[in-house]
Amino acid sequence: MKKGLFLVALITALLAVTGYTVWKSMWEPGEFLISGIIEADDIHVGSKIGGRVLKVVAKEGQKVGAGEVLVLLEPEELKASLLEAQSGLRQAEAKLAELTAGYRREEIEQAEAAVKQQQEVLRELVAGPRPQEVDQARADWLAAKAQYENAEKFRQRMKELTERQLVAQQEYDDASTKADEAAQKTKAARERYDLLLAGTRQEQIAQARHRLAEAEAKLKQLRSGFRREEIAQARAGVEMARARVQLLKTQLDETVIKSPVDAVVDVLDLEPGDLVGAGKPVATLLRTTSLWVRAYLPEDKLGYVRPGLKVKIRVDSFPGKAFSGVVRRVHRQAEFTPRNVQTWEERVLQVFQTEVVLEDAAGELRPGMNADVVVPTARG
């Protein structure tokens, strides 16, 4: 039993010596290794507005370029809202153009004519009736009076003849009707004559002045154009309508979910008809054009590594080949070595996470590969 244990210990020691020899032969003196895993920056893409999935264009594992469509959401509701907003914008722009241009020349000319008409009416009322009108009214009254007197005399004659039964009753009635009509005409002519003699009433002149003032105010308003407040309000309406159109266009663009960079689709689990929430990721992309190594630097080697340091990276898939890299970051907070990181040398308790950006123009490396970072010990 003891002999078996001794053989096991011997074999273990030989393997350790062999492993150490191999490990030492993998890099030149003046270097040390830190191990890690190749990773790619992941990007979570989605839509700001969400909605129902119309079509899933990309597939998991597919390479996509920047701007390439991943998922389409149903756009019909937003399209209808956009058409309505564009119509509102055109109406607002037309209203602003109307207010800015002012009133039409035809409206101003019509207002000028109304002012002239009211001025003439007022002058006529203030001046009163002309002597010729008074004389004509007196002549009309006298003529009507003479006709009435003749008609009244004829009615009296017809009355006597009717009483003596020399003429029919109808002839008397006709004469009486004509006499009454002549009396009414005489009365109207007399009233018109008296009215002209009295002149224009002050109430009529006041009304005419009021109508003239209204016409002049209307003309002034038309000549001045619309108020600045109205134009400012219309301009604000245009800006509001234009902003709504722009907002809906932006929301409509959000129905087409695209890849922001060249990447590989890592997770995309959707089907047409699925509902996706606003601002929620619908796909995860891996940015394979910027691979980097997550490694853990022992505390006693911290002084050899700094951001910007050029290093070499080796992977098991390409033995004997070294890739170039640059240290991007060394975390300032220490942590324990993760269990899944296997190193050639004995682990130490405290390590610092280190990020190394890879240079892989040929695209040979993949996320998830184990990698060893060869760090020179020469301090610069």
Helix (H, G, I), strand (E, B) or coil at 339: coil
- With CA atoms as reference, report the closest residue to 196 among 135, 146, 143, 140: 135
List Cβ neighbours of 62 (8 Å cut-off, separation of 6 or more): 264, 265
Tokens of 52: 């129902």
pLDDT the model gives residue 15 = 46
| pTM over the 0.75 mark | no
pLDDT the model gives residue 4 = 52
Do the bridges between strand 256-258 and strand 281-298 make them parallel or antiparallel, or are there none, so unpaired?
unpaired
Round to whole Å and give the CA distance between 24 and 16.
12
Terminal alpha carbon distance of the chain: 55
| Residue 346 DSSP label | P
| Contact criterion met (CB below 8 Å) for 240 and 96 | no
- With CA atoms as reference, report the closest residue to 256 among 45, 44, 42, 47: 47
pLDDT the model gives residue 346 = 46
The number of angstroms, rounded, from the C-alpha of 238 to the middle of its chain's C-alpha atoms is 11
Q: Specify burial of residue 5 (Cβ count, 10 A radius: 0-12, 13-18, 19+).
A: exposed
- With CA atoms as reference, report the closest residue to 346 among 10, 7, 5, 19: 19
| Residue 248 DSSP label | H
pLDDT the model gives residue 338 = 58
- Please list the pLDDT of the chain residue by residue as tens digits (380 residues): 444 555 545 455 444 444 444 444 444 468 899 989 998 888 999 999 989 999 999 999 898 999 999 999 999 999 999 999 999 999 999 998 888 887 778 887 888 888 888 888 878 777 667 777 777 888 888 888 889 888 888 888 888 888 888 788 888 888 889 888 988 998 998 888 777 766 667 787 788 888 889 888 887 877 777 788 888 999 999 999 999 999 999 999 999 999 999 888 989 999 999 999 999 999 999 887 788 999 998 888 888 999 999 999 999 888 888 999 999 999 988 876 555 545 545 445 678 899 999 987 777 888 889 999 999 987 55
| Contact criterion met (CB below 8 Å) for 125 and 207 | no
Backbone angles phi, psi at 245, to 5 degrees: -60, -45
HEC per residue, 55-116: EECCCCCCEECCCCEEEEECCHHHHHHHHHHHHHHHHHHHHHHHHHHCCCHHHHHHHHHHHH
- Residue pointed to by tokens 């890299």: 325
- With CA atoms as reference, report the closest residue to 258 among 68, 51, 72, 75: 68
List Cβ neighbours of 23 (8 Å cut-off, separation of 6 or more): 33, 344, 345
- Number of Cβ within 10 Å of residue 101's Cβ equals 10
Q: Which residues on neighbouring strands pair with residue 283, listed in sequence order?
A: 45
